Structure 1
Amino acid sequence: MQVKVITADPLKFVTPALVVGCFEDVDGTDLLERLDRGLNGVLSFLRQQKEFSGELNKVKELNTLGQMPAERVVLVGLGKRRELTAERVRQSAGTASRTLNQLGVSSCLATLPQIEGGDRFAGAVVEGMMLGSYRFDVYRTEPKERACLAELNLAAETKREAKAMALASSESRIICDAVRMARDLVSHPGNHATPAFLAEQALAIAARQGFACHVLDAKEIENLGMNGLLFVGKGSAQPPRFIIMEYHGRRQDGKPVVIVGKGITFDSGGISLKPREGMERMKDDMSGAAAVFGVMKAAAALKIPVNLVGLVPAAENMPDGGAYKPGDVVRTMSGKTVEINNTDAEGRMVLCDALHYAQRYRPSALIDLATLTGACLVALGTEASGLMGNDDGLKRALKKAGEATGERVWELPLWDEYGEAMKSDIADLKNAGGPHAGTVTAAWFLRQFVGKAKWAHLDIAGTAWEEKGRNYLPKGATGVGVRLLVDYLRGIAG
């Protein structure tokens, strides 16, 4: 999407659509009053008839019938003025962009909330518009029924304001491009998005953005003793890959932040086969990997002054004659042995090797993202990702980033007592702990492989996919984790 900042009067700008934010408890601003007069009192009538009141995320579309240069006006509710936040602006902009997509509008002019310092919301408007207008139609053979929003113009009152808005808009566009890329990766079906495909994408991203990337094949994975990853991939005709990306954003040497993303390109459950209902969505089990790709892309494009490593263990979990079985014992890269009592608990098996591998970087922080447990969806729904870890400072920083970006996280306990469920009679650990506290016991398992690193685990099982579509989250892959971690990285970079 192209994003431009203009200083022209919004009511005199020729555009297919003019998007105007309206407060619920403010009858009019200068812009709204002039707009009302230009439309012969239609806005006042709508308020009187309670057809549109400015309630958050409510939309009203009006055809101007040639009474002004804009072909149509889209009114979008911002809620109460005193409650305005960047997230509310983001949601409203996303709601408006979805309306524009439905109308087949390819270009629009959006006005920011008319309050002092309203220019600080420019980035939120761009995020809402770019993320809300996203759609994935790569595999459709029919021509598109409607155009997709491709050009966004933002209205500024002064040249100084326009300069600040242009900078914020540019940065937000870079981040949103990374989120949209992550959504694309998750949206590809499993017969296309294989471990080899992920490896090819990583190499291509690294080449474009100028950071290092190295991919290990199945033989190299075996030579390293990464049997957790290797065994999960044994039942598939698609061999596993281990993807290593390194971005050096600081001139001086410094311990990197290492992010690890679960890359199960399709999860049938293996021998512990999943129910058929909903199995087609298991292409989203590499959402953690997609987020890592997005963060690497955005960090390099923004030139964030941090050292960053992205690790992706990629495999397909299938049930053929070579697949690992319940009862098998696997010796992981760390040397710890794991009894397999559920082949559908495969995510932690590929992650444990990646987390152990990460220790060679002596990371300043180690963060993993994974669609790890259905239990997290039961506990937190789709509103928040689960957060667990061993360092309070790291968890606080991630919570702060979550509030700033709207990708909220909620901490769950990680007490030692939960480890009782993960004890095996014949090995050091078992890979599943029974029906209770599944999210926590899975995280407890991962903690055994992080060494002394400051570590946080993000369970994105509930937030990686949107079932119905809302504000800036259309139905499908959300790209969760990209904006959260980019904000975290910018925070620690100062």
Structure 2
Amino acid sequence: MNISVAAEEHTTHPCPALVVGCVEDDFPADGLLAPLDRLLGGGIAALRASGEFTGRLNRVKVLHTFGRLPAERLILVGVGKRGELTAERLRQAAGSAAKGAGVAGVTRLSSVLHRAGDVDGAIGASVEGFILGGYSFSNYKTVPPDERPVEGVTVLLPAGAATADAEREAGEAATLCEAVCFARDLVSHPGNVATPSFLAEKALEMAGRLGITCRVLDREEMERLSMEGILSVAKGSHQPPRFIILEYLAGAAGKRPTVLVGKGVTFDSGGISLKPREGMERMKDDMAGAAAVMGTFMAAAGLRLPVNLVGLIPAAENLPGGGAYKPGDIVRTMAGKTVEIVNTDAEGRMLLCDALHYAQRYKPAALIDLATLTGACLVALGAIATGAMGNDPALIKGLKTAGEASGERLWELPLWDEYGELMKSDVADLKNAGGPHAGTISAAWFLKQFAGKAKWVHIDIAGTAWEEKGRPYLPKGATGVGVRLLVEYLRKSAG
């Protein structure tokens, strides 16, 4: 989506559609709407009087101006009560407006939505909402010509205003959203396209374009490193595993990096412990953690964040087959710990444990892994919040603060030692699943055994990586969750 900034009077600005934010307790008398209402002969006030449109959050009304304004249409979008207006509500309102424009067949918008109230970062938030709300994945569809998404948004400032700061803020938001959409695309591709080799190729391509160092380990190199956790998961598939290493070093020389680890199971059938048929087609999203890490690197490089960042992505398919790993097998991980396999559908932690151990060579200042790890997290938190567990309260607090700012909220679950009882094996150091209770926590406790002395947080995105119904700036499908969260955290930690 093309984003531009102009300093023009909104009542005289010609455009296919003008987006205006409507404050519920000040509608339509505020300074932006009142002159538009006069030019329309009181038509906006009549909407309020009839109760047809009141400015409630995310409600949208499209009006034709019939030549009374240079704007061919007005898109009124509710932002709720003035005292409750936040950057997140502006994101939602912009996403709702983008969807309303799509329904109306409008492909170019101009907007004064960011001027609905006094909110820090209002321009960036509204740009994020427009881009993310207008996203669609149609690579494999024949799209009718009348269903084109919004292609461009012009952010309107008051006539004569300086535009440099607004252009910078809008440009940074667009760069961030480009990375989120990149992550969404990766998750949306089907499993017969998005294989481990495909992920590696996309990482190499992205890295080469942005000046990021990228190295990919093949099966033989992983065997030499004794990455048996990853290799065991890949045994049932004809697709070879890959271990992707990304390095973006733009921070102070010698400063220890933040290491991001992303689960990259490109399709998860459950292996021998086969998943139910219903919904298995969505298991292409089991590499959403890998996509989030790749998207974060794309954004960090695009925004030129002054940070040292390492990304580790173990990628494999989990399929049944004659060579597949089985319940009862014992696997010796890269760390030397042995794991009894009691459920081959608990494969993500087998990938992550090797990657977390590999991360120790970087002496990370912070170690963060993202994974669609457990259905139990969806049961606990639904699709609204992401689960977080770790061994460092300050790191968890920093990520939670970033989650509030970005709208990708985290909720901490306990990680007490008593949960380790669930993961004890009679025949190995650990087992890879702990039974029906506390599944999210026991999985995180398992990962903790491989995090070493690093300050570490595990982020379980199983509930938030995919949107089933569609929300204001989260269309149905892949959400790209984790990218905006991590970029916000990195910005704050760099400062």
Structure 1 residue 116 displacement after superposition: 6.5
Q: Secondary structure at the match of 1:30?
A: coil
Q: How does 1:207-222 map to 2 (within 5 A)?
A: 207-222=208-223
Q: Is the 8 A contact 1:401 1:484 kept in 2?
A: yes
Residue in 2 aligned with 1:303?
A: 304
User: Where in structure 2 are there 5+ consecutive unaligned residues?
Assistant: none
Q: Secondary structure at the match of 1:25?
A: helix
Residue in 1 aligned with 2:136?
A: 135
Q: Deviations over 1:192-225 (max 9, x none)?
A: 0000000000000000110100000011111100
Residue in 1 aligned with 2:243?
A: 242
Name the CA distance, whole Å, in 2 between partners of 1:249 and 1:128. 29
Q: Deviations over 1:278-337 (max 9, x none)?
A: 000000000000000000000011111110001100000000100000000000000000
2:22 is the alignment partner of 1:22: yes
If the length of structure 2 is used for normalisation, what is the TM-score?
0.98
Q: Secondary structure at the match of 1:237?
A: coil
Residue in 2 aligned with 1:8?
A: 8
Q: More deviation in 12-21 or 426-435?
A: 12-21
Q: Which amino acid aligns with 2:371?
A: A
Percent identity, please. Answer: 63
Change (3 A) 1:113 1:293: closer
Change (3 A) 1:142 1:26: closer
Change (3 A) 1:306 1:206: same
Q: How does 1:337-356 map to 2 (within 5 A)?
A: 337-356=338-357
Change (3 A) 1:362 1:289: same
Structure 1 residue 101 displacement after superposition: 1.5
Q: Is the 8 A contact 2:264 2:316 kept in 1?
A: yes
Q: Secondary structure at the match of 1:254?
A: coil
Change (3 A) 1:375 1:348: same
Residue in 2 aligned with 1:120?
A: 121
Q: More deviation in 92-101 or 190-199?
A: 92-101
Name the CA distance, whole Å, in 2 between partners of 1:215 and 1:152. 38
Name the CA distance, whole Å, in 2 between partners of 1:103 and 1:196. 40
Q: How does 1:72-221 map to 2 (within 5 A)?
A: 72-114=73-115, 117=118, 120-157=121-158, 160=161, 162-221=163-222
Q: Deviations over 1:257-282 (max 9, x none)?
A: 00000000000000000000000000
Structure 1 residue 144 displacement after superposition: 4.1
Residue in 1 aligned with 2:477?
A: 476
Q: Which amino acid aligns with 2:422?
A: A
Name the CA distance, whole Å, in 2 between partners of 1:101 and 1:341. 48
Name the CA distance, whole Å, in 2 between partners of 1:100 and 1:112. 14
Q: Secondary structure at the match of 1:109?
A: strand
2:446 is the alignment partner of 1:445: yes
Name the CA distance, whole Å, in 2 between partners of 1:53 and 1:252. 55
Q: Is the 8 A contact 1:112 1:119 kept in 2?
A: no
Residue in 1 aligned with 2:401?
A: 400
Q: Is the 8 A contact 1:211 1:300 kept in 2?
A: yes
Q: More deviation in 479-488 or 68-77?
A: 68-77
Residue in 1 aligned with 2:328?
A: 327
Q: Which amino acid aligns with 1:285?
A: D
Q: Which amino acid aligns with 1:14?
A: P
Q: More deviation in 155-164 or 322-331?
A: 155-164
Structure 1 residue 141 displacement after superposition: 3.3
Change (3 A) 1:140 1:113: closer
Residue in 2 aligned with 1:52?
A: 53
Name the CA distance, whole Å, in 2 between partners of 1:146 and 1:215. 39
Name the CA distance, whole Å, in 2 between partners of 1:366 and 1:289. 15
Name the CA distance, whole Å, in 2 between partners of 1:32 and 1:182. 37
Q: Deviations over 1:116-136 (max 9, x none)?
A: 745730000000000000000
Change (3 A) 1:44 1:142: closer
Q: Secondary structure at the match of 2:398?
A: helix
Q: Secondary structure at the match of 2:11?
A: helix
Structure 1 residue 163 displacement after superposition: 2.1
User: Where in structure 1 are there 5+ consecutive unaligned residues?
Assistant: none
Name the CA distance, whole Å, in 2 between partners of 1:74 and 1:7. 20
Name the CA distance, whole Å, in 1 between partners of 2:117 and 2:361. 49
Q: Is the 8 A contact 1:313 1:351 kept in 2?
A: yes
Name the CA distance, whole Å, in 2 between partners of 1:133 and 1:473. 9
Q: Is the 8 A contact 1:101 1:146 kept in 2?
A: yes
Q: Secondary structure at the match of 1:6?
A: strand
Residue in 1 aligned with 2:63?
A: 62
Q: Secondary structure at the match of 2:163?
A: helix
Q: Is the 8 A contact 1:29 1:114 kept in 2?
A: no
Name the CA distance, whole Å, in 1 between partners of 2:299 and 2:179. 6
Name the CA distance, whole Å, in 2 between partners of 1:229 and 1:388. 22
Structure 1 segments (4+ residues) deviating >6 Å: none
Q: Secondary structure at the match of 2:121?
A: helix
Q: Secondary structure at the match of 2:255?
A: coil
RMSD (Å), alpha carbons: 1.1
Q: Is the 8 A contact 2:432 2:446 kept in 1?
A: yes
Name the CA distance, whole Å, in 2 between partners of 1:162 and 1:406. 27
Residue in 1 aligned with 2:431?
A: 430
Q: Is the 8 A contact 2:94 2:113 kept in 1?
A: no
Structure 1 residue 113 displacement after superposition: 4.3
Structure 1 residue 162 displacement after superposition: 2.5
Name the CA distance, whole Å, in 2 between partners of 1:119 and 1:384. 23
Q: Secondary structure at the match of 2:126?
A: helix
Q: Is the 8 A contact 1:255 1:364 kept in 2?
A: yes
Name the CA distance, whole Å, in 1 between partners of 2:57 and 2:224. 56
Name the CA distance, whole Å, in 1 between partners of 2:287 and 2:197. 13
Q: Is the 8 A contact 2:82 2:117 kept in 1?
A: no
Q: Deviations over 1:346-376 (max 9, x none)?
A: 0000000000000000000000000000000
Q: Secondary structure at the match of 2:32?
A: helix
Q: Secondary structure at the match of 1:96?
A: helix
Q: More deviation in 424-433 or 139-148?
A: 139-148
Q: Which amino acid aligns with 1:9?
A: E
Q: Which amino acid aligns with 2:184?
A: R
Q: Is the 8 A contact 2:252 2:308 kept in 1?
A: no
Change (3 A) 1:88 1:447: same
Name the CA distance, whole Å, in 2 between partners of 1:280 and 1:204. 27
Change (3 A) 1:249 1:40: same
2:318 is the alignment partner of 1:317: yes
Residue in 1 aligned with 2:36?
A: 35
Q: Is the 8 A contact 2:367 2:455 kept in 1?
A: yes
If the length of structure 1 is used for normalisation, what is the TM-score?
0.98
Q: Which amino acid aligns with 1:239?
A: P
Name the CA distance, whole Å, in 2 between partners of 1:142 and 1:212. 37
